[in-house]
Amino acid sequence: MISTPEPRNSGIASFRIKLLVAMMLVVSFVAVAILLFAQRNMADSVRRDFQREFQNELAALHSVQAIRHAALAERCRELARKPRIHAALEDGALDLLYPSARDELLDVMDTDDGAFREPGAYTLRAHYYRFLDGKGRAIPPLDAKEVGELRPEEEAQLDLGKLPDTPQTGYILRDAGRDTETIDEVIAMPIISSDSGETIAAIVLGFKPPTLGGGSPDAWIEGGVWLGGHLDLPSLTESARADLAAQLSRAIPAPGVDQGGFEFRAGGAPYLASFERLNPASLFPAAYEVSIYPLAASAARERRLIWEFVAAGAVLLAGAFLASHFLSRRLSEPVEKLAVDSEENREHWHRAEAALETTSQELQRSARFSADASHQLKTPVTVLRAGLEGLLAGEQLGAEARDEVSALVHQTFRLASVIEDLLLLSRMDAGRLQIQFTRLDLSPLLEALLDDLGALPDIFDLEVDADIPPHLWITGEKRYAALILQNLLENARKYNHTGGRVRVSAAAQGDWAVVVIGNTGPAIPQSSQGHIFERFHRGAVGENVPGHGIGLNLARELARLHGGDIRLSRSDEAWTEFELRFRAEGAGATLPL
């Protein structure tokens, strides 16, 4: 069957598409893997950068606060050393304590006089102060207005239960009115008597805590203070503040937790919150600084990064697609060529197969014809011979006619012989001749044939020499081996001259049994030597020799079927010689079928 070009093209196109798809899949997988890896790395890097930025910013704000706190503590320490305050406490003049402190604290207290002050200066000013007595309780002032008013519950938060040995930072909850609360920072500084070296009192000053970011519009960290479930973080809405306070209450369950962080959402926006103990190891209740950082910008940055990666991925994939397309075309070219070649080969093969089929059919037809013809011919020849022999047996023929009929009978034998040979040849041609290989001794066979040769009417008065070993074993079928030898011996007898000679020698040569049959007689011309084994070829020398030109052909075909061969080994004026080879018995070579 010969393929049409369309399926072939569609097959190549299909191959090309499959190749393209496979390459695209591989490239896409690799590209996606690389992009995912890079994106993850970038996201991690962005997150690390953000955390570092956040920590740096926080650390900077903390250092500012630490400086402020140190300044406040120093102011408090200075106050605690004031001679008047010491004099009031040490010389038993408590009635002069607050009046003396008022003078000393003139530049510390925020007097709300309406004068403009820098924001930093504002946070360094105290809003109220109290002295703590020997039991750590607030000493009530004579005039609360002069020392900053506090509600009783606010003043109660200043009580420490005992006097501190070191400065203490604390935070107290204050009512800012209208149901809002603020958290103030207080610093308690022990007053150590210069008389006794013991802590005799403490001064507590209350400040507004600085807000992280300071309320500046470009500040990105907002801060506040968390104290006992209350959160003072004015930048958040009330509900968000309540949510955050609740989360902080869960995150700060134990006194040992000094810092931490978590993410939360307020008003639909994500935030990062971190908390850190403001007053570790303080006698005042634990308070925490709460810093919140809006993650919206960071999330936007991450989203933008993802989109950038998606865009880069799309560009990469498009490039990969183009490259794959180009590459698949290049790669499919040899395959296409191979397909075309293969198609042509297949066509050739189909043609050759068809031709072989035709030849085979013709051969079979020819062989069948030969066989049929031989069979068809054998019967009339037999009938003819029987008729002729019948005539010979009769009395009505004259002597002349009898000779004629007798010659005719002889011709029928020749005809039958030819038909027999043709039948054998046709069987060989059709491949239906099977040699039944057996162990065969060639020597008695040769001797018997030579005996038969001697029995024939000898017109040339030939001398027959034979050099035959007692046994010469071959593998073959006796009937056909005899036919081969008979044909050769027949030729040697026929193509001879009067007083001529026939010589037969046989010997084993390695794997072969070689029979050489030579005879005197006219030489075979050089030009004919190549054709003597062809069918129906008869040399010019044999024009007067009876024969039909298939004997040598038949002999060689049969010899080859036995795995041997026949060749003309010599032909000159003096001597013509044929060499026949059979496989010796036990030879290793495989036999032809």
Q: Which residues are at the interface with other proteins (CB under 8 A)?
A: 81-84, 86-88, 90-93, 96, 100, 193-198
Closer CB to other proteins, 194 or 360, in the complex? 194
Query: Whose structure tokens read 């968000």?
Result: 240
Cβ of residue 100: shortest distance to other proteins, in angstroms? 8
Q: Which is nearer to other proteins, 82 or 501 (CB)?
A: 82
Task: Give whichever of 95 and 341 is closer to other proteins, judged by the CB atom.
Answer: 95
Alpha carbon of 422 to those of 319, 375, 415, 544, 554: distances in Å?
77, 10, 10, 22, 9
Least distance to other proteins, CB of residue 83, Å: 5
Q: Which of 90, 490 has the CB closer to other proteins?
A: 90
Which backbone phi and psi does 358 adopt, to 5 degrees?
Answer: -60, -45
Query: Which C-beta is closer to other proteins: that of 95 or that of 357?
Result: 95
Q: Strand 501-509: give its sheet, edge to edge.
A: 463-467, 501-509, 512-519, 576-583, 565-571
State the minimum distance, in angstroms, from the CB of residue 189 to other proteins: 15
Task: Report d(CA 87, CA 100) in Å as an integer.
Answer: 9
Report the length, in residues, of the chain: 593
CA distance 25 to 371: 68
Shortest distance (Å) from residue 76 CB to other proteins? 15
Smallest distance, Å, CB 110 to other proteins? 24
For the CB of residue 126, give the shortest distance to other proteins in the complex, in Å: 21
Burial 366-395 (b: 16+ CB within 10 A, else e): ebeebbeebeebbeebeebbeebeebeeee
For other proteins, give the closer residue by CB, 68 or 82. Answer: 82
Residue closer to other proteins, measured from CB, 75 or 86: 86
| The Cα angle at residue 532 between residues 528 and 536, in degrees rounded to 5 | 115
Pick 88 or 485: Cβ nearer other proteins: 88
Residue (of 228, 96, 213) closest to 171 by Cα position: 228
Enumerate the β-bridge partners of residue 438: 476
The letter for the amino acid at 347 is: E
Nearer CB in complex with other proteins: 102/427: 102
Query: Whole-number minimum distance, CB 221 to other proteins, in Å?
Result: 41
List 189's β-bridge partners, or say none.
Answer: 203
243-245-247 Cα angle (round to 5): 70
**Residue closest to 328 by CA, chosen among 31, 8, 12, 7:** 12
Cα–Cα distances (Å) from 300 to 25, 57, 303, 305, 314, in that order, read 31, 20, 5, 8, 21
Q: Rounded to the nearest whole angstrom, what is the least distance from the CB of residue 128 to other proteins in the complex?
A: 24
CB of 194 or CB of 239, closer to other proteins: 194
The minimum distance between CB 146 and other proteins, in angstroms, equals 18
What does the DSSP assignment read for 381-416? HHHHHHHHHHHHHSS---HHHHHHHHHHHHHHHHHH
* CA-based R_g, the chain, Å: 66
**Cβ 93 to other proteins shortest distance, Å:** 4
Q: Please, what is the Cα angle at 254 between 253 and 259, to 5 degrees?
A: 85
Nearer to other proteins (CB atom), residue 5 or residue 92: 92
Determine the Cα–Cα distance for residues 276 and 291; give it in Å rounded to an integer.
9
- Write the single-letter amino acid at 79: L
